[in-house]
């Protein structure tokens, strides 16, 4: 019988895709997937540390593994990802959870095979765990790991790793190093072969896709990359995340608008609506620039689905600053927004600033969520009665399908799961608690 692996992923799409790479390594070693931790011979936690809530949850979850390890001492427990890369954290994990066998940093996932083999040898000699963290600023881009993809008809494709921006609240540049862009030819080849293999939606991933190529000497940038991806034949959708308002350009917006395969969907995190807060956050744009971008997007793509990340309670945020955020949200009319309470991260600039009481943050986030819910509801109403092309992505239940429109809205409808991966026309019939429901039509 195959040995079994179980991977639990915390955090963003970048991590979801990295877990696919970990799965690729394990499948190569002869492991098969299980969704039951208790059955697994190897358990991998791919961690996140973007907010304190993520970290607390992961600590709780690692703690739960102790009992599983006790039941089967040969089980291998692996902790990887952002959390391990924080200053001193690998040692904290190793001490607090002595049953953990392997700890790998964000740039060392590709070493998993050799570390598992090393562990087997160490076990024979009764030697302890393995910690492998690369603290260099620009770790090498690893190309020889083939992901075991789990999200058909969607496929994730990294275009770059790391971040140079050092937004004052953000831990990412500390745990993922500086920007490293992949070679354009390798990205194009990967997308081409995914489309050929039948994937219908490609999502390009990078912490700041607009600065793709800035570390390269061949003149490649996000625009030139997109112009090459535009040439790939076949019907598929291309999305990308995340765009940064300081870098998104009009030529990229125009190119998206004129390319049928590029989705009219832009995730453009604003974080805050007040210029004072944006400055303190080190975001390097102001609300005027942000409004200019929104106007430009809408000029070329009136139906573009625009989404955002918004934070409340950044140090120094006054009620007036927060009102600026509410005002911006009202003016932009996001299809959807991910809202966060600012969470101090050790080692970042903002963690040293004077913090705002939690009760104020709580109050602000509920007001922000109420406003955005209202907007999402109103925008959803506008879909009712329209026929939209939807890519069938999943079948959450028997005879129930879901998929997204080009602009990124999720739609539920009935149909057989054999339709997964196909484009269908769906007439939107109702908007129930901001979720769209419809029927497949032959138009």
Question: 345 contacts which partner out of ligand SF4, ligand 5AD, none, CB within 5 to 8 A by kind?
Answer: ligand 5AD
Query: Tokens representing 125?
Result: 């000699």
- Residue 85 within binding range of ligand SF4, rule CB under 6 A: no
Question: 166 contacts which partner out of ligand SF4, ligand 5AD, none, CB within 5 to 8 A by kind?
Answer: ligand SF4
Instruction: State which residue, 178 or 367, has the beta carbon closest to ligand SF4.
Output: 178
Q: Quick one: angle between helices 319-332 and 287-300, nearest 10? A: 10
Instruction: State which residue, 200 or 244, has the beta carbon closest to ligand SF4.
Output: 244
Report the first-to-last Cα separation within the chain, whole angstroms: 49
- Residue 208 within binding range of ligand SF4, rule CB under 6 A: yes
CA torsion sign, 336 to 340 to 346 to 347? positive
- Residue 177 within binding range of ligand SF4, rule CB under 6 A: no
Binding mask 188-207 for ligand SF4 (x = CB under 6 A): -------------------x
DSSP H helices, 184-286, are 184-196, 222-230, 250-258, 275-280
| Least separation in angstroms between CB 272 and ligand 5AD | 9
CB of 421 closer than 8 Å to CB of 198: yes
CB of 176 closer than 8 Å to CB of 161: yes
- Residue 11 within binding range of ligand SF4, rule CB under 6 A: no
Question: 438 contacts which partner out of ligand 5AD, ligand SF4, none, CB within 5 to 8 A by kind?
Answer: none
Instruction: State which residue, 154 or 165, has the beta carbon closest to ligand 5AD.
Output: 165
**Residue in 163, 229, 365, 368 binding ligand SF4, rule: CB under 6 A:** 163
| Least separation in angstroms between CB 310 and ligand SF4 | 12
Q: Quick one: angle between helices 13-28 and 112-124, nearest 10? A: 60
Question: 132 contacts which partner out of ligand SF4, ligand 5AD, none, CB within 5 to 8 A by kind?
Answer: none
* Chain residues in the site for ligand 5AD (CB under 6 A): 50-51, 169-170, 269, 271, 309, 311, 340, 342-343, 345
SS3 4: strand
Taking CB atoms, the residue at the shortest distance from ligand 5AD is 309
Residue 187's alpha-carbon distances to 91, 194, 232, 237, 372, in angstroms, are 36, 11, 12, 16, 36
Question: 343 contacts which partner out of ligand SF4, ligand 5AD, none, CB within 5 to 8 A by kind?
Answer: ligand 5AD
| Least separation in angstroms between CB 328 and ligand 5AD | 14
Question: 339 contacts which partner out of ligand SF4, ligand 5AD, none, CB within 5 to 8 A by kind?
Answer: none
Distance of CA 191 to the CA centre of its chain: 18
**Residue in 170, 278, 420, 424 binding ligand SF4, rule: CB under 6 A:** 170
Instruction: State which residue, 181 or 348, has the beta carbon closest to ligand 5AD.
Output: 348
| Least separation in angstroms between CB 313 and ligand SF4 | 16
CA–CA gap between residue 172 and residue 166 (Å, rounded): 8
**What count of Cα atoms within 13 Å lies in the side-chain half-sphere of residue 39?**
12
Stretch that binds ligand SF4, among 163-171, 272-280, 384-392, 428-436 (CB under 6 A): 163-171
Instruction: State which residue, 167 or 238, has the beta carbon closest to ligand SF4.
Output: 167
The DSSP 8-state label assigned to residue 259 in this structure reads -
Instruction: State which residue, 80 or 175, has the beta carbon closest to ligand 5AD.
Output: 175
Instruction: State which residue, 6 or 169, has the beta carbon closest to ligand 5AD.
Output: 169
**Residue in 65, 159, 172, 187 binding ligand SF4, rule: CB under 6 A:** 172
- Residue 166 within binding range of ligand SF4, rule CB under 6 A: yes
CB of 203 closer than 8 Å to CB of 187: no
Report whether the peptide linkage leading into residue 25 is cis, meaning its omega lies within 30 degrees of zero: no
CB of 169 closer than 8 Å to CB of 311: yes
Query: Tokens representing 77?
Result: 């427990």
Q: Where are the beta strands (DSSP E) in 159-278?
A: 160-161, 180-181, 201-205, 237-241, 265-267
Q: Between the CA atoms of 304, 256, 247 and 330, what dihedral angle is there, to the nearest 10 degrees?
A: -10
Q: Quick one: angle between helices 250-258 and 287-300, nearest 10? A: 20
For ligand SF4, the binding residues (CB under 6 A) are 163, 165-167, 170, 172-173, 207-208, 244
């Amino acid at each position: 019988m195959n040995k079994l692996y179980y991977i639990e992923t915390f955090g963003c799409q970048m991590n979801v895709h990295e877990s696919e790479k970990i799965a690729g390594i394990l499948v190569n070693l002869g492991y098969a997937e299980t969704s039951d931790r208790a059955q697994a011979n190897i358990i991998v936690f791919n961690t996140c540390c973007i907010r304190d809530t993520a970290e607390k949850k992961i600590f709780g979850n690692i703690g739960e593994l102790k009992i599983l390890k006790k039941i089967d001492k040969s089980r291998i427990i692996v902790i990887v990802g952002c959390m391990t890369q924080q200053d001193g954290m690998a040692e904290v994990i190793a001490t607090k959870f002595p049953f953990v066998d392997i700890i790998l940093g964000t740039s060392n996932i590709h070493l998993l095979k050799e570390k598992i083999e090393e562990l087997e040898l160490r076990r024979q000699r009764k030697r302890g765990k393995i910690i492998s963290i690369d603290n260099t600023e620009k770790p090498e881009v690893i190309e020889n790991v083939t992901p075991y993809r789990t999200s058909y008809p969607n496929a994730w494709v990294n275009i770059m790793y790391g971040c140079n921006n050092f937004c004052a609240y953000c831990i990412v540049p500390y745990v993922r190093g500086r920007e490293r862009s992949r070679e354009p030819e390798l990205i194009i080849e990967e997308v081409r072969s995914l489309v050929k293999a039948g994937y219908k939606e490609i999502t390009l991933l990078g912490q700041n896709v607009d600065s793709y190529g800035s570390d390269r000497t061949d003149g490649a940038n996000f625009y030139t990359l997109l112009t090459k991806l535009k040439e790939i034949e076949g019907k598929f959708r291309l999305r990308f995340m995340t765009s940064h308002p300081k870098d998104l350009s009009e030529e990229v917006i125009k190119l998206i608008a004129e390319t049928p395969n590029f989705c009219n969907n832009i995730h453009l995190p604003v974080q805050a609506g007040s210029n004072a807060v944006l400055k303190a956050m080190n975001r390097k744009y102001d609300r005027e620039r942000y409004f200019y971008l929104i106007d430009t997007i809408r000029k070329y793509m009136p139906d573009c689905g625009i989404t955002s990340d918004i934070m409340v309670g950044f140090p120094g945020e006054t009620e007036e600053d927060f009102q600026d955020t509410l005002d911006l949200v009202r003016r932009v009319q996001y299809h959807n927004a991910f809202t966060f309470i600012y969470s101090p991260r050790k080692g970042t600039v903002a963690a040293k600033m004077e913090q705002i009481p939690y009760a104020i943050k709580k109050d602000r986030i509920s007001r922000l969520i109420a406003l955005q819910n209202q907007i999402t509801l109103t925008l959803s109403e506008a879909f009712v009665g329209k026929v939209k092309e939807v890519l069938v992505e999943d079948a959450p239940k028997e005879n129930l399908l879901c998929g997204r429109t080009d602009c990124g809205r999720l739609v539920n409808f009935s149909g057989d799961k054999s339709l997964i991966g196909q484009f269908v026309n769906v007439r939107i019939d109702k908007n129930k608690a901001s979720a769209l429901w419809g029927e497949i039509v032959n138009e």
